[in-house]
Chain A
Amino acid sequence: MVDVALTGRVAIPAEAVTRMKALARFQFGDALFRHLTRGAAIGVLLLLSGVIISLIEGSLPAIRAFGFGFLWSQSWNPVTDKYGALPAIYGTILTSFIAMLIAVPVGLMIAFFLTELCPKWLRRPIGIAIELLAGIPSIIYGIWGLFIFAPFLQATLQPFLINTLGNVPGIGSLFSGPPYGIGMLTSGLILAIMVLPFVTSITRDVFEAVPPVLKEAAYGLGCTTWEVVRNVVLPYARVGVIGGVMLGLGRALGETMAVTFVIGNAHRISASVLAPGTTISATIANEFTEAVGDLYTSALITLGLILFVITFIVLAIARYMLMRIERRIG
């Protein structure tokens, strides 16, 4: 019996053998491709952990030397090798704050215009034009800011602020000092232009996702367009709007080149928003290649680590919010 079966094996047609071989090859190829793609997906995770680990490793000497005091020390002196992050952190937060103060209302109003007021045929071109602002590289904003925008502000807005708000008791010191042109306010304004497209496009998308029935019901009650947006659209889209704002904030915090051109790179905390200052990213961009000595380099990498942690938290919140609204829209 067994012999018969074995002799039968010899009789397997040649094409069946090639078919088996082909199948085996396919199976192997299949498994290989599957594992390759999986490996690449895991690679994306490794990329992020690699960034974090390398930054932590690079910042160890500075952390050992300064401890947590690095976070609130104001000195930045390459000669005596004393470094503190506070002026840079302050500048980063202040410029981003100015940027959001302007970009959020303007972005919301543009989204309001695009979803409720704009004629249909004009929506796409305007939307694309605003998004092109996001495509312009940040160095272009930098060179434009340095040669055109800063001199313009120096001649117009800044003297105006100094002469009016600068004399108001209480907030006067915010707008004191000479009009340098460059400085915190200029950086904040340029950042506002840069994050405007992010805020606008996400706000527009979540505005558009509001069910028309809700809006029609409100219009049916006699609401004006503004009242519909203010009391129906905005509350419904709240989570998404916050997500978009946080995304813009993440951009503003980490933005490097545009700020580097116009911030003035001064390691001090001034009361006036017109004064030059520095941000984390501008400090790194300006000083890293010139940094001599391990401690100097390490202090700059620690700044990078702080920036990464801040933006990571902001972006994670943004993504979480946007995921929530995506789930609700379905």
Chain B
Amino acid sequence: MPEMIIDSRYSRRRRRNGVATTLAFAATALGLGWLVLILGALLWKGFSGLSVAVFTEMTPPPGSAGGLLNPIFGSLMLTGLAVAIGTPIGILAGTYMAEYGRYDKLTSVVRFINDILLSAPSIVVGLFIYQIMVAPMGHFSGWAGGVALSVLVIPVVVRTTEDMLTLVPNALREAATSIGLPRSLAIRHICYRAASAGMVTGVLLAVARISGETAPLLFTSLNNQFWSTNLNQPISSLPVIIFQFALSPYHDWQALAWTGALIITLAVLALSISARALVSSGKQS
């Protein structure tokens, strides 16, 4: 009798374990399934629209053929601008946190705030830039869009720069100091070089993050149906065009939106995969 109780108790535990294990398998399959479903839909819907015209022609008026040249170019410009503004600031701030003030109060405060900025809602960043740039200047502009994106670049770069510089062994710094290298030169020529792969990864991740950002651009760089390279004017960008075209009732606009979505996703995935490859190759060498 007691043996049976033990037996049934044990089988109940085993059953419970079996259920939990199955659920874990199912959850993982679900997670991977979503990825496949989304990528599959993108390829299926976007690939048919992919042609040379997409990269050589302007966005069309509804009802006629066209491409995505101006939004692609606008996105590249805005991303470049954001990286040009955000990267130096991010690297400098990260340098202070890892090199000069590693145990400072200031560093721990900045780290905390930076981590919050890292996941702060991007639409709020758009409102912020609208307040400080668009409203005083009186018009939407590419500059405002670039600055808004740079606000998203900074926290990513700060975080990776700090992490990567912290990993640089102290012996390198001591060796540099012992041959009389000033601190700033040691940082720039020794530490940066040692941490370069990680720091480049940070910039790549930042680009991946901003290249699909739509919310902060909606009311900073706005949109432009025509070819424009003037950063003082509203400028077209891929995510905003996708937003506008996808919600439009025109079929060919919707098709272009899918193609744009495919281009962005492929770019982002390529960036994040190469960032990963860079990190793991840095670990091996």
Q: B-contacting residues of A (Cβ < 8 Å)?
A: 26-27, 29-30, 32-34, 36-45, 47-48, 50-51, 54-55, 57-58, 105-107, 109-110, 112-114, 116-118, 126, 128-130, 132-133, 135-144, 146-148, 193, 196, 200, 224-227, 229-230, 247, 250-251, 253-257, 260-261, 281, 284-285, 288-289, 300-301, 304, 307-308, 311-312, 315-316, 319, 323
Q: A51-B125, A130-B32, A250-B119 are in contact. Are A288 and B218 (CB under 8 A)?
A: yes
Partner of B96, one of A37, A139, A257: A37
B282 at interface by CB-CB < 8 Å: no
Q: A38-B96, A226-B16, A312-B116 are in contact. List 10 more A-B contacts (CB 8 A).
A: A39-B92, A44-B117, A126-B28, A133-B38, A136-B38, A225-B21, A254-B120, A256-B121, A304-B123, A308-B121
Task: Tell me, rounded to whole Å, the shortest Cβ–Cβ distance linking A318 to chain B.
Answer: 8
Query: Which of B92, B115, B254, B269 contacts A40 (CB under 8 A)?
Result: B92
Q: In whole angstroms, what is the CA distance A285 to B218 when docked?
A: 7
Q: How far is the CB of A22 from chain B (nearest CB, A)?
A: 10
- Tell me, yes or no, whether B13 is within 8 Å of chain A by CB: yes
Rounded to whole angstroms, the CA-CA distance of A209 and B25 in the bound complex is: 22
In the complex, the answer to whether A30 meets B110 with C-beta atoms within 8 Å is: no
- Residues in chain A near residue B121, CB distance under 8 A: 253-256, 281, 307-308, 311
Q: Is B202 an interface residue (CB 8 A)?
A: no
Once the chains bind, are B122 and A139 in contact (CB under 8 Å)?
no
Known: A44-B93, A44-B114. A137 touches B213 (CB 8 A): yes
Assess the B124–A224 pair: CB atoms within 8 A.
no
B142 → chain A closest CB, angstroms: 16
Does B101 belong to the interface (CB within 8 Å)? Answer: yes
Report the minimal beta-carbon distance from A295 to chain B, rounded to whole angstroms: 15
| B184 in contact with A29 (CB, 8 Å) | yes
B262 to chain A, nearest CB (A): 9
Q: How many residue pairs between the two chains, A and B, have CB atoms under 8 Å in the bound complex?
A: 264
**Docked pose: A285 CA to B116 CA in angstroms:** 22
Closest to A229 in B: B20
Tell which of B51-59, B127-135, B168-176 binds the partner: B127-135
The 8 Å CB contact of A256, one of B32, B215, B264, is B215
Whether B123 lies near A45 (C-beta < 8 A) is no
**In the assembled complex, which residues on chain B have CB atoms less than 8 Å from the CB atom of A224?**
13-14, 16-17
Flag if A133 contacts B31 (CB, 8 Å): yes
| Known contacts A37-B93, A110-B28; is-contact A147 B218 (Cβ 8 Å) | no
Query: Please, how many angstroms separate the alpha-carbon atoms of A120 and B59 in the complex?
Result: 48
CA distance A307 to B97 in the complex (A): 29
A41 contacts B28, CB within 8 Å? no
Instruction: Enumerate chain B residues within 8 angstroms of A247, measured Cβ to Cβ.
Output: 119
Q: Chain B: residues with CB nearer than 8 A to chain A?
A: 13-14, 16-17, 20-21, 23-28, 30-32, 34-35, 38, 41-42, 45, 88-90, 92-93, 95-97, 99-101, 106-107, 109-110, 112-117, 119-125, 127-128, 130-132, 151, 154-155, 158, 182-185, 187-188, 208, 211-215, 218-219, 222, 239, 242-243, 246-247, 254, 257-258, 261, 264-265, 268-269, 272, 276
B residues near A109, Cβ cutoff 8 Å = 20, 23-24, 26-28
Contact pick for A316, options B93, B116, B155, B213, CB 8 Å: B116
Known A27-B182, A132-B35, A135-B208: A301·B127 in contact at CB below 8 Å = yes
A193 to chain B, nearest CB (A): 5
Q: Which chain B residues lie closer than 8 Å to A227 at the CB level? A: 13, 17
Interfacial chain B residues near A107, Cβ < 8 Å = 27
A289:B116 contact, CB within 8 angstroms: no
Is A110 in contact with B24, judged by CB distance below 8 angstroms? yes
- Select B28's contact among A39, A113, A140, A146, beta carbons within 8 Å: A113
Contacts of A304 in B (CB 8 A): 123-124, 127
Q: Is the CB–CB distance between B212 and A140 below 8 Å? A: yes
A255 to B123, CA, bound (A): 8
Report the Cα distance A256→B21, complex, angstroms: 35
B117 cross-chain contacts in A, Cβ below 8 A: 44, 47-48
By a CB distance below 8 angstroms, the chain B residues around A285 are: 123, 215, 218
Given contacts A135-B272, A196-B31, contact A47 B116 (CB under 8 A): no
